Amino acid sequence: MDATHEHSPGTPAETVGALGELAVLDRVTRRLPPGSPLLGPGDDCAVVAAPDGRFVVTTDMMVHGPDFRWAWSSPEDVGWKAAATNLSDVAAMGAAPSGLVVAIAAPQETPVTVLEGIADGFRLAIEALAPGIGVVGGDLSTSATFSLTVTAFGDLGGRAPVVRSGARPGDVLAVSGELGPAARGLARLFRDGVDDAGEPDAGRVRANGADADPDVARQRRPVPPVTDGPLAAAAGATAMLDLSDGLAIDAGRLARASGVTLELDVEPALDPVALHGGEDHGLLATFPAGAGLPGGFRRIGLVRARVADDDHGGDRGHGVDLVRGGEPVPTTGWDPYADWDGAAG
């Protein structure tokens, strides 16, 4: 990788194709945290403990183009984000992460250092967000398009899973984690990280100082409040989900699943990016009135009986999802990738 394209996987060196699958796997797996599964890699399956007789599971794929760009994210960033987003889904059930498996498809010309960097990102994210768990298995394939698929597991610790559909009128609406920085970081990259043709450009990112922007850091490496998931469950959370697409969109999902209307507090006011920006991977949860809010949760509103949309002139047939100061709040997000074709960068 040269100085102007630090994150590009296009430089020769030792490539995936030249080294072969086994040699690459050997170099990658030694950088991954093994955790302490009952049985780790090396057989047809790993064996993972499920102490209470159940496990939660989520799977999520990140594809180069729509989900990340080498010009904007280092391999470490990509590994971190793939781990963090899945750990957040586990936390959103009220579960503690218990392990991950990772499948990667890489073009033959990918330098092995890219895969090592991704492994480092997984290790760093796990150390920061779910210390002690391991990457217990994986697969490496070849493809013209780089992608990662992570499947993460978690342990409910004997509690019921916290689903989206359990919010009840009178509950407190609360959020944990950051709101907005990941979206602001992406906006900064779109503004200061593209060449004259509008394509992602690592040199422009650096020249314009965006590498030093803490919001860009959060877009690259979101920090979901993973430990707050089990804390919320233990505190009696009635509903919870991961804020992947933005507070407004995800609040709409919770409201519809629970058959309630969520009312945001008028003060303190959430700014539009906090309300509609995605990818922070905070947790949105509802708690019984009077319950103490655990960990990093703070109140942002309350749960009301479902409001019919005639009252507010909404365009939905099934009621209003989200209101503030008596007015409906659109449950939409903001997707700066929407008009991109995903081919370049």
> What residues between 231 and 270 interact with a second copy by CB under 8 A?
241-242, 257
Which distant-in-sequence residues (6+ apart) come within 8 Å of 113 by Cβ?
1, 13, 14, 75
Pairing of strands 135-142, 96-106: parallel
Minimum Å distance from CB 14 to a second copy? 20
Q: Is 174 left (phi over 0), alpha (psi -120 to 50) or beta?
A: beta
Contact yes or no for 333/246 (Cβ under 8 A): yes
> Which of 2, 20, 22, 42 is in the footprint of a second copy by CB under 8 A?
42
Minimum Å distance from CB 244 to a second copy? 9
Residue 23 binds to a second copy (criterion: CB under 8 A): no
Instruction: Give 243's strand partners.
Output: 282
Please state, in angstroms and rounded to a whole number, the distance separating the CA atoms of residues 36 and 41.
Answer: 11
> Which of 44, 267, 315, 339 is in the footprint of a second copy by CB under 8 A?
44
Radius of gyration of the chain (CA): 21
Query: Which CB sits closer to a second copy, 158 or 292?
Result: 158
> Which of 1, 28, 48, 273 is in the footprint of a second copy by CB under 8 A?
48
Residue 128 binds to a second copy (criterion: CB under 8 A): no
Q: CB 5: neighbour CB atoms within 10 A?
A: 15
Query: Which CB sits closer to a second copy, 145 or 332?
Result: 145
Minimum Å distance from CB 49 to a second copy? 6
Query: Which CB sits closer to a second copy, 44 or 310?
Result: 44
Considering CB under 8 A, how many residues would be counted as binding a second copy? 62
Exposure on the CB side of residue 236, measured as CA atoms within 13 A: 10
> Which of 7, 123, 164, 204 is in the footprint of a second copy by CB under 8 A?
164
Q: Which residue from 279, 259, 257 is spatially nearest to 333, judged by alpha carbons?
A: 279
Query: Which CB sits closer to a second copy, 59 or 332?
Result: 59
> Which of 47, 207, 234, 344 is in the footprint of a second copy by CB under 8 A?
47
Residue 144 binds to a second copy (criterion: CB under 8 A): yes
**Cis? peptide before 225, omega within 30° of 0:** no
Pairing of strands 298-305, 327-328: unpaired
Please state, in angstroms and rounded to a whole number, the distance separating the CA atoms of residues 46 and 272.
Answer: 44
> What residues between 90 and 109 interact with a second copy by CB under 8 A?
90, 92-93, 95, 99, 101-105
> Contact positions toward a second copy, by CB under 8 A?
38-39, 42-63, 65-67, 88-90, 92-93, 95, 99, 101-105, 136-139, 141-145, 147, 149, 151, 153-154, 156, 161, 163-164, 241-242, 257, 342-343
